[in-house]
Structure 1
Amino acid sequence: MAPQAGEKLIVLHIGDPVKWNTELYARFSQDFTVVRPSAEERQRGEFMKALKEGRWGNFAAIFRPFWNTGGEMGRWDEELIPLVPSSCRIFASAGAGFDWADVDILAQRGSTPRSPFSKPGKLIITSAAASTESVSDFAIFLILSAFRNLNWCTTSARLSPAAFTDCHTHSAAISHNPRGHTLGVIGLGNIGFEIARKAYAAFHMKIVYYDVLRKPSTKEAEIDAQYISSLDEMLGMSDCVVLATPASPDGKKLITKERLGKMKMGSRFVNIARGSLVDDEAVADAVEEGRLVGVGMDVHEHEPRVNERLKVLRQVTLTAHNAGGTLQTHIGFEELAMRNIDAVLKGKQPLTPVNMHLMISAVKEKL
Structure 2
Amino acid sequence: MPQKKPVVVVTRRLPDVIETRMMELFDTRLNHDDTPMTQSQLIEAVKMADVLVPTVTDKIDLGVLSQTNPNLKLIASFGTGVDHIDLATARQRGITVTNTPGVLTEDTADMTMALIMAVPRRLTEGERLMRSGNWNGWSPTSMLGHRIWGKRLGIIGMGRIGQAVARRARAFGLSIHYHNRNRLPDYVENELEATYWESLDQMLARMDIVSVNCPHTPATFHLLNARRLALLQPSCYVVNTSRGEVVDENALTRLLRNGKIAGAGLDVFEHEPAVNPRLLELDNVILLPHMGSATIEGRIDMGEKVLINIKTFIDGHTPPDRVLQAML
TM-score (ref. length: structure 2): 0.84
Are 1:213 and 2:196 counterparts?
Answer: no
How much has 1:191 moved relative to structure 2?
1.8
Residue 10 of structure 1 corresponds to which residue in structure 2? Answer: 6
Kept after mapping to 2: 8 A contact 1:196/1:223? yes
Q: Counterpart amino acid of 2:206?
A: M
How much has 1:334 moved relative to structure 2?
0.8
Q: Counterpart amino acid of 2:6?
A: I
How much has 1:353 moved relative to structure 2?
4.1
Distance 1:167 1:349 in 2: 63
How much has 1:210 moved relative to structure 2?
1.9
Distance 1:257 1:235 in 2: 13
What's the CA shift string for 1:233-291, capped at 9, x where partnerless?
22123211111122134363222211101222311100111223222222222223333
Distance 1:254 1:298 in 2: 17
How much has 1:22 moved relative to structure 2?
6.4
Residue among 115, 131, 141 paired with 1:169:
141
Kept after mapping to 2: 8 A contact 1:94/1:126? yes
Residue 167 of structure 2 corresponds to which residue in structure 1? Answer: 197
Q: Counterpart amino acid of 1:158?
A: R
Distance 1:345 1:109 in 2: 20
Are 1:133 and 2:106 counterparts?
Answer: yes
Unaligned segments of structure 1, at least 5 residues = 1-5, 112-121, 360-367
Deviates more, 1:318-327 or 1:221-230: 221-230
Q: Counterpart amino acid of 2:53?
A: F
Are 1:338 and 2:322 counterparts?
Answer: no
Residue among 285, 300, 324 paired with 1:316:
285
In structure 2, do the counterparts of structure 1 residues 50 and 20 end up closer, same or farther at CA, with 3 Å as the change threshold? closer
Residue 61 of structure 2 corresponds to which residue in structure 1? Answer: 77
Q: What SS does the aligned partner of 2:119 have?
A: helix
In structure 2, do the counterparts of structure 1 residues 358 and 17 end up closer, same or farther at CA, with 3 Å as the change threshold? closer
Residue among 214, 232, 255 paired with 1:286:
255
Distance 1:267 1:205 in 2: 14
Kept after mapping to 1: 8 A contact 2:56/2:82? no
Residue 92 of structure 1 corresponds to which residue in structure 2? Answer: 76
In structure 2, do the counterparts of structure 1 residues 24 and 45 end up closer, same or farther at CA, with 3 Å as the change threshold? closer
In structure 2, do the counterparts of structure 1 residues 354 and 203 end up closer, same or farther at CA, with 3 Å as the change threshold? farther
Residue among 45, 52, 69 paired with 1:62:
52
Higher relative contact order (CA 8 A, sep 6+): 1
Q: Counterpart amino acid of 1:62?
A: L
Q: Which has the higher helix share?
A: 1
Kept after mapping to 2: 8 A contact 1:146/1:268? yes
Kept after mapping to 1: 8 A contact 2:176/2:195? yes
Residue 109 of structure 1 corresponds to which residue in structure 2? Answer: 92
Kept after mapping to 1: 8 A contact 2:154/2:204? yes
Q: What SS does the aligned partner of 2:120 have?
A: helix
Residue among 121, 143, 158 paired with 2:116:
143
TM-score (ref. length: structure 1): 0.76
In structure 2, do the counterparts of structure 1 residues 8 and 195 end up closer, same or farther at CA, with 3 Å as the change threshold? farther
Mapping of residues 266-305 of structure 1, within 5 Å: 266-305=235-274
Sequence identity percentage = 27
Are 1:158 and 2:155 counterparts?
Answer: no
How much has 1:165 moved relative to structure 2?
5.1
Residue among 221, 225, 230 paired with 2:199:
230
Kept after mapping to 2: 8 A contact 1:123/1:355? no
How much has 1:18 moved relative to structure 2?
5.5
Deviates more, 1:305-314 or 1:139-148: 305-314
What's the CA shift string for 1:40-60, capped at 9, x where partnerless?
9x6533543565xx544xx2x
The structure 1 segments of at least 4 consecutive aligned residues displaced by more than 6 Å after TM superposition are 37-40
Distance 1:9 1:90 in 2: 14
In structure 2, do the counterparts of structure 1 residues 55 and 160 end up closer, same or farther at CA, with 3 Å as the change threshold? closer
User: How many residues were matched structurally?
Assistant: 324
How much has 1:214 moved relative to structure 2?
3.0
